[in-house]
Amino acid sequence: MSWIVAIVVRLAGLAGITLSPFAAGALFAGALAIVIGGAGLAGGLELYNAGYRAADSAWRAKNLQARIDALEVDQDAARRALADARLKVAAIEKQSAEDKQGTADYVEDLKKRFQAACAITDDDLRGLRAQAGADRRATGVAAGAGQSHAAGWRASARKGR
């Protein structure tokens, strides 16, 4: 340490400062304490930051895992819902096909019954309508002759309108 004190005294002398060997040793010891304390503080701060980074990365990993787990649960629920929907669609399509076939069978049955029960053609119906129209015109009944018997027409007729 004596050679360090001598170097400090000479450097101080070059700068125009007179130092005793005791003051130079004290100055060196203080500077050494500051350097060691600063290094310790820097090391401690780096150690703190390393711990923080480790804890933060662990927290992020847990957070991401929780999100992945939640998404997997949602995906499973969506798959189950899709399977249920497909079953419902199949059941509805089956019911629709059965209803369509039942309707077709019913229409065919009605056609058979109608043909068997009534052999009147469209020409026969036209003839009946023409005959009924001629009868109405001859008698003046319900073919537009006379006054309407609706309540509104009577009421307005009483008021003199």
pLDDT in tens, 98-111: 999 999 999 888 88
**Helical (H) or strand (E) element with 116:** helix 21-117
Tokens of 37: 């304390």
Angle, vertex CA 39, rays to CA 37 and CA 45, nearest 5: 100
| pLDDT at residue number 161 | 47
Q: What is the DSSP letter of 17?
A: -
Mean pLDDT, rounded, of the chain: 82
For the whole model, what pTM was predicted?
0.39
For 41-94, write each residue's pLDDT tens digit. 999 999 999 999 999 999 999 999 999 999 999 999 999 999 999 999 999 999
Secondary structure class of 16 (helix, strand, coil): coil
Alpha carbon distance 50, 7 (integer Å): 39
Percent of the chain with pLDDT over 90: 45
| pLDDT at residue number 81 | 96
Could you please report the per-residue DSSP string of 80-99? Answer: HHHHHHHHHHHHHHHHHHHH
Alpha carbon distance 8, 27 (integer Å): 9
